[in-house]
Chain A
Amino acid sequence: MPRLDTASLNRRLYEAGIATRHIKRTITELEDHFEDLVAEQTGAGLVIRDAEQAALQRLGTTDDLVAAMRLQPELRCWGFRYPRIARVLYPLAIVAMLPALPVVAAVEHAPQIARWGFCLLVGGAVTATMMLALRFTILFG
C-alpha cells in the first residue's frame, strides 16, 4: 500500500541540517495533508490504493520536499547556519559539560542506580553474615 515515506524524509532532512522541530512539524503536516488528499480522492470515486498513489503524486517527491526545505536557510539548525562558530563552541561546550555528565547520568538513571546499590548492599550483608558464621564455626566449632 503506497504511504508517505516519513523515515526516508526524516533522514534526508536531518542530513540537510534542518532543525528537528521543523522536521517533526513538516512530517506531521504532510501526514495530515496526505490524509486530506486521500479523503478527497476516495470522495471522487477512487479506490483506496489509487487514492493513496494519487495523493503521493500530488504531495511531490522526497527530492522536491528536501530541495524546498534547503531553499529556506532559516529552517536549518544553528550549527549548520553558523558552522565556523559551531566548530569553536561545540568542543568547548562538551569540555564544560564533562564534569557534569556523571551527575546528569546519576539523575537520569537514579532508579537503576538505587536498585544496583540496594543489591550490592544486600550482597555485602549476606557475605559478611556468612563470613561471621564461618568465623564462629572455626572459633567455637
Chain B
Amino acid sequence: MSKTNPPFMSGVPELLLLRLLQQQEMYGYELVRSIKDATGEAISLGEGVIYPVLHGLERSGSLKSKRKKVAGRTRVYYSLTAVGRKRLQQLAGDWRRIQGGVAAALNEEAYA
C-alpha cells in the first residue's frame, strides 16, 4: 500500500492517537496496529514517525507515559490526560467541521 500523502495528514495522527488512547493505554507498536485496524488500513505511515507525535503530545500535557517491563523488555505505555481529553474534543470538532465542509463542496460539484 502506498504511503498517505503527508500534506493531507496534518493533525490526523494526533487526532487518531488521542482517540485510541481514550479507550485504553497502549505502546507504540500497539497504537500503529490499532490505527490500521480502526482506519481499515486507509492510513499508512512510516511507523516510526508515531514516536515524535507521542513525545510532542506528552510535552504538551495531553498524554502521560510510564515504563512497564513486559517479557524482559521495557515498554513505554501512553495514556490520555484531562488536557488530552479536551484536546481530543477540540480536534474532533475541527475535523467534523472540515469533513462537513469538504463533503458539502463535493456534493455541490456532483450536482453542478
Interface residues of A (CB under 8 A from B): 22, 25-26, 28-30, 32-33, 35-37, 58-61, 64-65, 68-69, 71-72, 74-75
Most central of B52, B53, B60, B76 by chain A CB within 10 Å:
B52
Least distance between B50 CB and chain A CB atoms (Å) = 8
Secondary structure of the B contact surface, majority rule: helix
Contact string, B62-105, partner A, CB cutoff 8 A, digits 1/0? 00000000000111100000000000000000000000000000
Interface size class of B (residues with CB under 8 A): 20 to 34
Q: Which of B21-55 contact A (CB under 8 A)?
A: 27-29, 32, 45-49, 51-53, 55
Task: Give chain B residues whose Cβ lies under 8 Å from the Cβ of A65.
Answer: 46, 48-49, 52
Q: When the two chains form their complex, are residues B76 and A72 in contact, meaning their CB atoms are under 8 A apart?
A: no
Q: Which residues of B contact A26 (CB under 8 A)?
A: 51-52, 55
Shortest Cβ distance from A60 into B: residue: B46
Which residues of chain A are near B76, meaning CB under 8 Å? Answer: 25, 28-29
